[in-house]
């Protein structure tokens, strides 16, 4: 035996390492119980999903991104801090009944070190094909593994709901403020329009202008007829004949009336109907624009409230956290064999390199 140790020191070290490591995995390593849960993240869909090139790779409705957000949160430092307060994570994993290499070596470890240890005991993986989040929790008692898995599910669902609700509330609050501002603006412009109508004593200056234009057009048509008749009469009667004088008087009256009506629409002293109509149209457009903006804001607010309901996420449990009945970790035989294979393989390589170096020296 001593001859073998001196002649093949590398192999001796390898066999000794394999012996001690195998002894650790076989007799010293503390049993670990694993609680598993499979969940999917869902939200109410009020419209049928559309098929797109992106959806072929990202999953329906962008569910993959939500699942990844949930996965990151479950593995985050925030989750660890909350878990530590709720289920005494440090106390359980730093217990002296656990072997040295498996336990949390320092109960008061910094959060960064604690998080590194946390990632060795909590596994959250996304199955891209099935769109399912698979959660595995390793603990040193079946009760603790089951408790931690349940806490992860409830806290994860709460976080996703709060995330969607916070974003939706910000949008709704912004739109409610805009609706209030637009409502006040609409009331203001409508009051200005009503005050202007009362001040001018006209319900619709534009309609009044249109009616006056119609009157002027009628009078001008009559004036044209009378002038034509007068020209015909003068061709065979004297200008002082009663008939010609009568028509001339009617022409003069029509011209005066036309001038009066035109003066009502455009007079330089102010209060002309064309000016009133222009001001009225401006106020009317402002009121109409304020009304349309207010209506659009109300519609946007209602749509945002509906969208807020869609953003609420629900963690649907496909497999509830299992209550482990026997320890599946560590895989003692598997770990021992894998360590032995790796060590022997490395030893073989090193031994070959040593022989090659010796041959070159010779």
**43 — pLDDT class (breaks 50, 70, 90):** low
Nearest CA to 277 among 213, 190, 194, 202?
202
Q: Does domain 173-307 have CATH number 1.10.287?
A: yes
ω before 12 within 30° of 0 (cis)? no
pLDDT at position 210 is 67
Bridge partners, residue 136, by sequence: 36, 123
Q: How far apart are CA 142 and CA 31, in angstroms?
A: 10
Please tell me the predicted confidence (pLDDT) of residue 316. Answer: 76
Mean pLDDT lowest among 93-102, 104-113, 214-223: 214-223
CB 296 within 8 A of CB 289: no
Lowest model confidence (mean pLDDT) among 73-77, 264-268, 318-322? 264-268
pLDDT at res. 277: 61
Query: What length is written for the chain?
Result: 362
pLDDT greater than 80 at residue 291: no
As annotated, the residues of the chain forming the CATH 1.10.287 domain(s) are 173-307
pLDDT at 57: 43
pLDDT surpasses 90 at 137? yes
DSSP state of 181: H
Residues of the chain with CATH 3.30.1890: 32-169+313-343
Residue 24: both structure tokens together:
């650790």
Q: State what percent of residues in the chain have pLDDT above 70.
A: 73
pLDDT (average), residues 182-193:
76
Q: Quote the pLDDT of residue 96.
A: 86
Q: What is the pLDDT of residue 131?
A: 83
Has domain 32-169+313-343 been given CATH number 3.30.1890?
yes
- 7 compared with 52, residue with greater pLDDT: 7
- 70 C-beta neighbours (distance < 10 Å), count: 24
* Nearest residue to 323 via CA among 87, 157, 149, 178: 149
- Residue 146: name the closest of 87, 105, 72 by CA: 87
Helix spans in the chain (H): 2-7, 9-23, 55-58, 63-74, 77-87, 89-93, 111-121, 142-200, 205-234, 242-265, 273-310, 332-361
- Cβ-based neighbours of 131, under 8 Å, separated by 6 or more: 40, 59, 60, 63, 64, 67
Distance CA 344, CA 337 (A): 11
pTM to 2 decimal places: 0.58
Q: How confident is the model at residue 34 (pLDDT cuts 50, 70, 90)?
A: very high
Identify the three-state secondary structure at position 329. strand
| Average pLDDT of the residues in 196-214 | 63
Q: Does the pLDDT at position 147 exceed 90? A: yes
DSSP string covering 209-235, please?
A: HHHHHHHHHHHHHHHHHHHHHHHHHHT
Average pLDDT value for residue range 331-339: 85
Distance of CA 147 to the CA centre of its chain: 32
Quote the pLDDT of residue 123: 92
* Alpha carbon 32 to chain centroid, angstroms: 40
pLDDT at residue 28 above 80?
yes
Give the model's pLDDT for residue 204.
Answer: 56
Q: Is the pLDDT of residue 361 over 80?
A: no
Nearest to 136 by CA among 316, 324, 263: 324
Q: How confident is the model at residue 321 (pLDDT cuts 50, 70, 90)?
A: confident
User: With bands split at pLDDT 50, 70 and 90, how would you rate the model's confidence at 87?
Assistant: confident
Among 139-143, 249-253, 269-273, 340-344, the minimum mean pLDDT is found in: 269-273
């Amino acid at each position: 035996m001593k001859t073998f140790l001196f002649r093949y020191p590398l192999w001796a070290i390898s066999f000794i390492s394999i012996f001690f490591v195998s002894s650790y995995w076989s007799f010293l390593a503390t049993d670990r119980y694993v609680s598993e849960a499979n969940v999917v993240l869902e939200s109410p869909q009020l419209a049928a999903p559309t098929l797109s090139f992106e959806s072929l790779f990202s999953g329906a409705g962008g569910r993959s991104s939500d699942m990844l957000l949930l996965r990151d949160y479950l593995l985050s430092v925030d989750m660890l801090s909350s878990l530590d307060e709720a289920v005494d994570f440090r106390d359980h994993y730093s217990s002296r009944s656990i072997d040295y290499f498996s336990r949390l070596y320092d109960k008061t470890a910094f959060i960064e070190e604690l998080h590194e240890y946390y990632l060795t005991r909590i596994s959250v993986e996304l199955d891209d094909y099935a769109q399912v989040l698979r959660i595995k929790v390793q603990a040193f008692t079946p009760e603790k593994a089951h408790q931690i898995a349940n806490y992860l599910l409830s806290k994860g669902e709460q976080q996703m709901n709060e995330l969607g609700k916070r974003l939706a509330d910000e949008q709704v609050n912004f739109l409610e403020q805009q609706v209030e501002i637009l409502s006040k603006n609409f009331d203001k412009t409508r009051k200005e329009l009503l005050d202007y109508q009362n001040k001018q004593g006209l319900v619709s200056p534009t309609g009044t202008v249109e009616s006056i234009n119609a009157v002027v057009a009628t009078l001008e048509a009559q004036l044209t007829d009378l002038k034509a008749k007068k020209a015909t009469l003068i061709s065979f009667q004297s200008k002082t004949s009663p008939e010609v004088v009568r028509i001339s008087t009617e022409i003069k009256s029509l011209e005066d009336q036309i001038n009066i009506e035109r003066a009502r629409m455009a007079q330089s002293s102010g209060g002309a109907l064309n000016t009133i109509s222009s001001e009225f149209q401006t106020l009317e457009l402002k009121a109409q624009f304020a009304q349309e903006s207010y209506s659009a804001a109300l519609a946007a607010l209602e749509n945002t409230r509906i969208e807020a309901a869609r953003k609420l996420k629900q963690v649907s449990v496909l497999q509830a956290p299992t209550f482990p009945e026997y320890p599946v970790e560590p895989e003692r035989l598997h770990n021992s064999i894998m360590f032995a294979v790796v060590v022997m393989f490395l030893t073989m390589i090193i031994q070959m390199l040593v022989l090659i170096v010796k041959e070159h020296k010779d």
